[in-house]
Chains A and B, each alone.
Chain A
Amino acid sequence: MTHEVIVETRKLTKIYRDFWGRQKKTALRALNIEIRKGEIFGLLGPNGSGKTTTIKLLLGLLFPTEGEAFLFGKPAADVSKNERIGYLPEESYLYRFLNAEETLDFYGRLFDLPPRVRETRAQELIEKVGLKNDRKRKLREYSKGMRQRIGLAQALINDPDLVILDEPTSGLDPLGARWMKNLIVELRNLGKTVIMCSHRLEDVQDVCDRIAILNEGELQAYGEVKTLLQDVNRVELRASEIQLTEQLRRDLEEVLARHGGRIDTVGHPTTTLEDYFLRIVEESKRHPGRRYQPGSEKETIKPAVQSDAITERR
């Protein structure tokens, strides 16, 4: 991985003011981060911690009170940087009286794309986000998830080098969220840089290479997910084709004691609800019309099938 810096902020600060110029809220305080080419960067933090504010500052939708931000070496207020950026807003703010095709055509024109390129990209993207059957429907008829999908398509119409996603998985069902996460990883694999913000930790953990954690507008942690989360004082072990007996437990304790450690917990692994949900939906797709029967899962449901993209990463 190269270390070319795509986005850089220097002491980026935003204080919201009211009409009379009085200070209302310090949403971001002296943020210094660097985002490198080809990585998925996560902005993490509770509600109101300044994630959206940061993104809007990067895009020039807000002007910094203090400090500055550079994207591709250009200041955030520079319009030409937008040529290489795709942005999915927190809620997809699109024109509801347009249909999917018109939407993509409209945004394509804003990039001054020639008609033929617009046409083919729009069709590709509609297919990619799975709206092929709904492409002639007006966006006002779309569900939240569908709007999120067309929003993503809109962000990719210019084949951007930097994709900025504000809460990309919000409003999506687990299936959709997984699809979105796969897509994000796919974008990274194509050499694009992705910035996403979220408060859903599992999303961030699944896909992000590096993260910044914000709270009350202040940077709390910043670095690679792996190193941030690695707990070097603990060891995890999973074994298969074996029953958990008292004997096994005692043996394990003995071995660990010899190495100066001790057992915290021993038990059967539980799957996450997400995996479980995905398995069920998968199953119902394979056997339409069949209802889930407790106990029958052993024979029919295979261990959770994780998407290739994500397994690759692990």
Chain B
Amino acid sequence: MFAVITFDREPLRVEDLPAGIVQWTQSVGGFATIGLILFFLVALPRWRPQDYAAVPGWLKTFFLSCCGLSALFYIAAGIGFLTSGADEPDPEKFVLTTPNLLLTLAGACSILAAGLPFILNLFRERFRRIYALAKLSFKEAIRRRVIYAFSGMLLVFLFASWFIPSWHKDQVRTYVGVVFLAMNALLLFTAALLSSFSIPSDIKQQTIHTIVTKPVERFEIVLGRFFGFLALMTLVLVAMTGISLLYVLRGIHPEAAAESLKARVPYYGDLLFENTDDPRKGTNVGREWEYRDYITRPMPGQPAQTARWDFVNLPASLANRPEVRCEYTFDVYRTTKGEEGKDVYCTFRFYSWRFRKGDDEAFRKEREERGKGLIEGSAEEIALNNELAEKYGFFERDSRPVTDYRTLSLTIPGGLIKNALQADPERESELKLLGPVPAPLQCRVTCDSYTQYVGMAKRDLYFRLDEREGSDRVRFAINFFKGAFGLWLQMALIIGLAVVLSTYLNGVISLLITMILFFGGLGREFVAEVAVGKNEGGGPLEAMVRITRRELSGASFSESTSISDQIVSGTDEAFRWVVRRIIDVIPDVDRFEMSNYVAEGFDISWTQMGLSGLLLFAYLAPWFVLAFYLMRWREIASST
């Protein structure tokens, strides 16, 4: 089975959190600033002396000093950008330049100023009222029989199996895909529909009058609606996931189940290449999709092209296993036709960081002597491998077959990991003299067949952290629900957006904008690329200046010493910053899409779920603050 998960983007990592927080602060701070400016220009002039007097003194002081600080920081950051020129920070490494730091501080001040009234209001919120409002939304949806829409799911169950062959190597993927797609469409659309029309219809039918004349904070209405619909849709989601899971488990052919009903827990390394032109790249074979890099067996006499995976944070649990399973899925690119059905071969060598030159020879020799007569895979052989790997910090598997896009596996002895995890100060100081200490465990893959290319990407080779072999329905089932969590996040996103928008807009418009934002989110990467992609002529202003100067290209303005060029490129940098902030309005829906893990049989880690949840919260929080203000300033009984 083709069990490899491909990523156009790295999944969320805990290490990215600081950069994420900085970016969030800048974006949200930017919008908070716009809000504050609008407040000063539009709302404040209409205030009457008594309105102004109603605000407590300390709040006024705090608010105004935050605004003042924010303005100062923005000005400083602006000057910083104009003078320091535009150097796009490396997305791989997180470095905070001074202007960036100033921007972040400015954003933080604006957030404080705009967020404080909201935070203060939160203390006045009561659980019982929010609960009552949530329960009302729940009941309303049920009594209006919205839930019947989900009988549509039955159609999928009834007819999907007509199109899915009963035994096929892709069966699990197809089943999971179809079921998740159907759930996605039904749930998200219903959620959007329910939540974008609820508050507008409350206002239109004036039922909201009897609510806001009770001691209800208006924001409680927003929260009540949100949690009510979320609770309802969560129940529906759980039920539907349960039924879908049964359907998948029942529908899958036993053979397909045995092969792919899994939830692997992979442990990935970092991929580098040796003896190619660029350590970050292999040979380009001209495939359109640049996801994989290729290595081949060079002509004799030349150093072997090698793909090297560095495993840095080795989990100690692996050391106690007699055998650790390593799975790989490579792409084969043939330049000569090769024999029909004949595989391409690769050699896998594993090195501990303590490995010394010559250890491999010693390993081979001793293995040869003591391994005679041992049956491959027998307990004795495994024990021997363990002993030797631990002793020498080396292990190898020769000439393993590689078939196009098939997940194959090999095992390495746990002893090797033991060796790698051992403290060895002597060797460490020795290595330090030579340069950076290598990763604790490295896997080097070389291609054994001439003229054939083998393509690989970071996630094409991994160790299995989970121990058990073969089909494991329980773990698959848990993973299926974890996949549904991704759907839950998307649902929460849609409900939140629709409820927030509907505090100000009417139902149809709210629905429309929610949909636009959501689908925009599916294509967010594309939008971002179009908007802020680096192109040859620099940013828009630089391009314009170039046109007027009639020069096609030249030294980048940011590297120029002329002050005017600096200002032009600084302005462009500011423009790009603004566009990036605007793009941040679009939710990163891609991050909430987890069903592909289930389909490919990979476990969804709790960390990833947590981080996605956090991302959703970070995205929705500013929207809810917006809703707070919209509700507060809305004249409920006025027709406009």
- Give A residues with C-beta under 8 Å from B: 16-19, 56, 59-63, 68, 75, 79-80, 82-83, 85, 87, 89, 91, 93-95, 97-98, 102, 106-107, 109-112, 154, 158
Which of A16, A83, A91, A112 has the most chain B CB within a 10 Å cutoff? A112
Given the interface contacts A97-B139, A106-B136, A109-B131, does A83 sit within 8 Å of B215 by beta carbon? yes
**Sample of 5 more A-B contacts, CB < 8 Å, known A89-B209, A158-B214:** A79-B124, A97-B143, A110-B214, A110-B215, A112-B128
Cβ of B207 within 8 Å of any chain A Cβ, yes or no, is yes
8 nearest CB pairs, A to B: A109-B132, A61-B637, A110-B214, A97-B143, A93-B206, A82-B215, A87-B213, A56-B637
A61-B636 contact in complex given A89-B209, A93-B209, A109-B132, C-beta closer than 8 Å: yes
Interface-central residue, B132, B133, B214, B637, by most chain A CB under 10 Å? B214
A297 CB → nearest B CB, Å: 44
**Do A106 and B132 touch across chains, with their CB atoms under 8 A apart?**
yes
CB-contact partner of B132 in A87, A93, A110, under 8 A: A110
- Known A-B contacts A61-B637, A68-B50, A79-B217; the reply to A110 vs B129 at CB < 8 A is yes
Q: Is the CB of B143 within 8 A of A79?
A: no
Q: Least Cβ distance of B538 to chain A in Å?
A: 42
Q: A95-B140, A95-B207, A98-B139 are in contact. Are A60 and B212 (CB under 8 A)?
A: yes
Contact A61 B640 (CB under 8 A): no
Kindly provide the distance from the CB of A55 to the nearest chain B CB, expressed in whole angstroms: 10
Q: How far is the CA of A110 from the CA of B139 in the complex (A)?
A: 16
Bound Cα distance A35, B453 (Å)? 91
Please tell me if the beta carbons of B212 and A89 are within 8 angstroms of each other in the complex: no
User: How far does the alpha carbon of A85 sit from the alpha carbon of B638 in the complex, in Å?
Assistant: 21
A93 touches B205 (CB 8 A): yes
Measured CB to CB, the closest approach of chain B to A195, in angstroms, equals: 13
Does residue B210 face the partner (Cβ distance < 8 Å to A)? yes
How long is the Cα–Cα vector from A109 to B128 in the complex, in angstroms? 6
Task: Using CB atoms and an 8 Å cutoff, list the residues of chain B in contact with chain A.
Answer: 50, 54, 124, 126, 128-129, 131-133, 135-136, 139-140, 143-144, 205-207, 209-218, 635-640
Bound CA span A68–B639, Å: 21
| A18 → chain B closest CB, angstroms | 6
Q: Is the CB–CB distance between A85 and B213 below 8 Å?
A: yes
Separation in Å of the B217 CB from the closest CB of chain A?
A: 6
Residues of B within 8 A of A93 (CB): 205-207, 209-210
Q: Is the CB of A97 within 8 A of B144?
A: yes
* B48 CB, min distance to chain A CBs, angstroms: 8
Bound-state CA distance A62–B212 (Å) is 11
A89 close to B635 (CB less than 8 A): no
Chain A, residue nearest B205 (CB): A93
Known contacts A68-B50, A109-B132, A110-B132; decide if A82 and B140 are in contact (CB<8 Å): no
Take A109-B129, A110-B132 as given contacts and tell me if A154 and B640 are in contact as well, using a CB distance cutoff of 8 Å.
no
Are B206 and A16 within 8 A (Cβ)? Answer: no
Whether B206 pairs with A18 at a CB distance below 8 angstroms is no
Q: Which residues of A contact B139 (CB under 8 A)?
A: 97-98, 102
Jot down 16 A-B pairs with beta carbons below 8 A, ordered by A. A60-B212, A62-B637, A79-B218, A82-B214, A82-B215, A82-B216, A87-B209, A93-B207, A94-B207, A97-B140, A102-B139, A109-B129, A110-B132, A110-B211, A112-B128, A112-B215
Chain B: CB-nearest residue to A85: B213
Whether the pair B209, A95 counts as a contact (CB closer than 8 A) is no
Is the Cβ of A87 less than 8 Å from the Cβ of B637?
A: no
**Is B638 within 8 A of A62, CB to CB?**
yes
Establish whether residues A154 and B54, one from each chain, have CB atoms under 8 Å apart when the complex forms.
no
Chain B residues with Cβ below 8 Å from A94 are 207, 210
Q: Which residues on the A side are within 8 Å of B50 (C-beta)? A: 68, 75
Q: Is the CB of B635 within 8 A of A62?
A: yes
Q: Which residues of A contact B131 (CB under 8 A)?
A: 109
Report the nearest A residue to B121, measured CB to CB.
Answer: A79
Provide the bound-state CA to CA distance between A107 and B214, in Å.
8
In the bound assembly, the distance between CA atoms of A11 and B534 in angstroms comes to 61
